Amino acid sequence: MQEDATRPGERRPVLVLGPERRARMLSGYLLLLDYRGLGAESAVRALAALANTPTPIRAGLLASDHELPDAPTALREIAELAPAPIVWSVFGPRPDPEQASALRRAGVRFVLADPFTDEELRFVLNEAHHAGSADIPRIDTRVPVSMRVRIGTRNGERVGHVCNLSLVGAYVATPRPTLRGGVVDVHLPIEDGEISLPARVVWNNVPGNLRRANAAIGMGVRFLEVPSDAETALKKLLAERERAYRL
């Protein structure tokens, strides 16, 4: 397997294949997410981008409204000449069943239906770079969710919104995040009720000069303890959410 040659601090390259204007717009937006988008409107341009990029490209985004004469053939041609396997996601209007079947045969694994969020885009790109599994998510896989939660702190209870979730932690958007190192109780709603997990704040995003513009004000937490019954419920929830992004 070829090593990921991305150097620390270097943006990972992502190949964006679609109409010129759409590819250019998404490539520019990827900069805000710490990726480097390489736009191409044809297989020829895509191959040129691959040849001119020293870092192996492992993730590709294909616009569902592409102007390719034969997208599956174009993707296979790109795959044959790419120095590393590219995991593709199709974005935009959801493909119809016939289109989806053809794209799956050509190696497209994920779908991002309009409108999609930053968290959803990050998720499919991270899965592509780590060659995501179709089974239960890895322990560190952060799956996009949209979930209203209660947060217990030593100063009382607050309301937050979970943007992404894994077996070991979550990112909670809240206007008053707890300081780094603080301990909170995260009350997650599930199908059968609620699970409560103690967690430590490992980083936060607060207003001011150091705010990360591409993330909501809030805090990243790591669960301190996940009982077996809660782990089972989390695995089920994460697997269901992950399947929603499989083409």
- The domain made up of 12-129 has a fold known as Rossmann fold (3.40.50)
- Please, are residues 60 and 89 in contact by the beta-carbon 8 Å criterion? yes
The boundaries of every CATH 2.40.10.220 domain in the chain are 143-243
Tell me the three state secondary structure of residue 169: strand
Which two three-digit tokens encode residue 113?
Answer: 């239906």
d(CA 104, CA 101): 5
Query: Does the domain at residues 143-243 carry the CATH identifier 2.40.10.220?
Result: yes
Range of lowest pLDDT (139-148, 149-158, 205-214, 221-230): 205-214
Q: Which residues contact 54 (CB under 8 A, 6 or more apart)?
A: 5
d(CA 223, CA 208): 27
Does the pTM surpass 0.85? The reply is no
pLDDT per residue as tens digits for the range 169-215? 999 999 889 999 999 999 999 877 889 999 999 988 877 656 665 56
**Residue 200, CB-side half-sphere exposure with 13 Å CA sphere:** 4
Of 205 and 220, the structure prediction assigns the larger pLDDT to 220
pLDDT per residue as tens digits for the range 73-131? 999 999 998 888 899 999 999 999 998 999 998 889 999 999 988 889 988 888 887 75
Q: So what's the pLDDT on residue 106? A: 87
The boundaries of every CATH 3.40.50.2300 domain in the chain are 12-129
Residue appearing with tokens 């691959």: 50
Tell me the three state secondary structure of residue 80: helix
Q: Which residues contact 157 (CB under 8 A, 6 or more apart)?
A: 150, 151
Q: Where are the alpha helices (DSSP H) in the chain?
A: 20-32, 43-51, 71-81, 97-105, 118-129, 228-243
